[in-house]
Amino acid sequence: MNIALDMMGGDFAPLETVKGAAEYVATASAGIHLTLIGDEVQINAHLASHPIPADKYTIVHAPEVIGMHEHPTKAFKEKQHSSIAIGFQLLAAGKTDAFISAGNTGAMMVGSLFSIKAIEGVLRPTIGAYMPREDGTLGLLVDAGLNADCKPENLNQFAILGSLFAKYILNFENPKVGLINLGEEEGKGNILTLATYPLLKENKQIHFIGNIEGRDILLNKADVLVCNGYTGNVVLKLAESIYDISKRRNMDDAYFNSLNFEQYGGVPVLGVSKPVIIGHGISHAMAFVNMIRIAYRMLDTDLLGKMKDSFLGQA
Amino acid sequence: MNIALDMMGGDFAPLETVKGAAEYVATASAGIHLTLIGDEVQINAHLASHPIPADKYTIVHAPEVIGMHEHPTKAFKEKQHSSIAIGFQLLAAGKTDAFISAGNTGAMMVGSLFSIKAIEGVLRPTIGAYMPREDGTLGLLVDAGLNADCKPENLNQFAILGSLFAKYILNFENPKVGLINLGEEEGKGNILTLATYPLLKENKQIHFIGNIEGRDILLNKADVLVCNGYTGNVVLKLAESIYDISKRRNMDDAYFNSLNFEQYGGVPVLGVSKPVIIGHGISHAMAFVNMIRIAYRMLDTDLLGKMKDSFLGQA
């Protein structure tokens, strides 16, 4: 199992990426090999203080870096020797099995959609966000901002992809799917949710529990929370701001602390044909450890194979 | 100035409506007369313990009540002797100047839209929600759920209506209008926000500051927060749930306490031709005091006249 990590991605790279990789290897099960992509000199310098056994990793030198504020499509096309571009080249060629980066999100999306492509039958891949609940579990919000405008069929597919992720990675045996709406009753909604409801209701691949409201998002009423990417992005950033407010007000409450999204590492791009995980720009070592763990679990459970099976015949 | 109050609306009516009316009158400026609409026997029974000077109020008996869970249109049409229906009859006939109820929200909307109608030129009235910020001020979110689907012209009008409310009722000299979006840059957005941005930018009646993100909703970056009613409703209910969570966790923080929306009383229907305020179902006396105060201020500042002027020539 060969998991590749963009060592140059994120505000604290490469120090924190090296630390994360070293911490992960120290506790990892056998059979995992890390491919560390980035500036060889810098990586080696940090490895001196945070060593990894030589048989556990390979460095692939990348002389370029895509900056956080560069134009994604342009940078991805022009910087073919950047750590992100090389990461996707290796993944597409089957030389690595998963790719993780906390770098330029847009460039990661360009790579996900154009270098490795969507699973056959998936109309639009999606990006999820964890929603921490009071009971300590994590729900999954899909879409968290990749698809600003959605069609009912998109939301229906997000529900399938999100349910598989919730089952195999978040460990819900039969994840409950809720449609985020402005009322609980079946007849409530906007044009999109009204048209989506019957699709979810008839979808035998998911456990649909009906509409949920804004007040239910941080509860465990549903494990997979489905909405359009515009609304999902507003919800995610509003929830993130609650953590910031609680810190400014010197609070130290376990639940409000759990709204520190940085700690969860990153969210996978769901619906693309290989495991790709995009991290938060301000990721520290713990976030990278968590992202490598998620990538490992995605491979170990053959999540992608299960997703492909789900969309067989829908192409 | 004759402000009418539905004495039967809300979970704790008529005791709390009577208490609220009495508390208001005790501190009110001269020249205000309250019209108390509801069951005369019950109102008088409570007035015995919470008296109001006889020249300050008139009771209008309403033998029927529209229940919280009745079908709004049906109930409004069939129960012509209900407190809500009578409230709108008096308002439409000019016998009262404003109408307040914490009763069936749907029935209040039916009355607002069909008994007293929209301001000429207003395509769709809207309902706002207060957004409490860390600095203690209240922002205004429009739309909070009345218009699940919106067109760019709707959002542009909500911005005008919200700005006038923010100026005259919330006391912002030049309220900043922000468009809730999934990125700050002008080119970001979904179909609706991309088409709305230029309208807001060119609108000389408002002080548009650009896009704001979910993380800015509880800050004072913008005073009037514009979005479609589906997303606004999700945002409002998510914010409400933060208060509930903080209470379940035994927190007592001034800011999180300010997310107790009940205390603000109610939000006005903006864009209809007379002042109508719809309260939260669980309103207590303080909420009714605040709603009467807002109605008074709407009349005192001639907010409706200013709104009508804004839409002159747009009909």
> In chain A, which residues touch B (CB < 8 A)?
134, 145, 148-149, 180-182, 189-193, 213-219, 227-231, 233-242, 244-245, 248-249, 251, 253, 255-256
d(CA A112, CA B147): 36
CA dihedral A92, A97, A100, A105 (to 10 degrees): 30
Residues of A whose CB is below 8 A from B134: 245, 248
CB B9 within 8 A of CB B36: no
User: Do B134 and B253 belong to one domain?
Assistant: yes
Range A266-303 burial, b when 16+ CB lie within 10 A, else e: bbbbbbbbbbbbbbbbebbbbbbbbbbbbbbebbeeeb
Domain assignment present for B266:
no
Domain assignment present for A83:
yes
Q: Is A200 exposed, middle or buried (0-12, 13-18, 19+ CB in 10 A)?
A: buried
DSSP symbol at A28: P
Distances (CA, A) of B99 to A51, A231, B19, B203, B271: 72, 33, 17, 31, 15
Domain count of the fold of chain A:
2
User: Do A104 and A224 belong to one domain?
Assistant: no
Domain assignment present for A52:
yes
Residues of B whose CB is below 8 A from A227: 234
Tokens at A80, concatenated: 């073919």
Please indicate whether, in this complex, the C-beta atoms of A249 and B253 are within 8 angstroms of each other. yes
Query: Which residue's structure tokens are 């360009």?
Result: A110
Tokens at A253, concatenated: 């409450």
In A169-216, where does DSSP find H-type helix? 191-202
Residues of A whose CB is below 8 A from B248: 134
For the stretch B125-170, pLDDT in tens is: 999 999 999 999 999 999 999 999 999 999 999 999 999 999 999 9
Please indicate whether, in this complex, the C-beta atoms of B215 and A228 are within 8 angstroms of each other. no
pLDDT for A258 equals 95
CB B164 within 8 A of CB B142: no
Please indicate whether, in this complex, the C-beta atoms of A217 and B234 are within 8 angstroms of each other. yes
Disruptive mutation site among A141, A234, A250 for chain B (greatest number of B CBs within 10 Å):
A234
User: Do A27 and A101 belong to one domain?
Assistant: yes
Instruction: Note down the domain range covering A229.
Output: 126-260
- What sign for the dihedral angle of Cα B57, B69, A223, B217? negative
CB B153 within 8 A of CB B312: no
Domain assignment present for A250:
yes
Domain assignment present for B14:
yes
- Whether a cis peptide bond, with omega within 30° of 0, leads into A143 is yes
* pTM confidence score: 0.93
Distances (CA, A) of B209 to A17, A151, B121, B122: 38, 30, 25, 23
User: Do A159 and A240 belong to one domain?
Assistant: yes
How many CB atoms lie under 10 A from the CB of residue A55?
7
User: Do B208 and B307 belong to one domain?
Assistant: no
d(CA B144, CA B133): 17
- What sign for the dihedral angle of Cα A109, A114, A120, A124? positive
Domain assignment present for A282:
yes
Q: What is the CATH number of the domain that holds B299?
A: 3.40.718.10
Confidence tier at A230 by pLDDT (50, 70, 90): very high
Q: Which residue ranges in chain B fall short of pLDDT 50? A: none
Alpha carbon B270 to its chain's center: 7
Domain assignment present for B236:
yes
pLDDT for B175 equals 98
For the stretch B10-47, pLDDT in tens is: 999 999 999 999 999 999 878 899 999 999 999 999 99
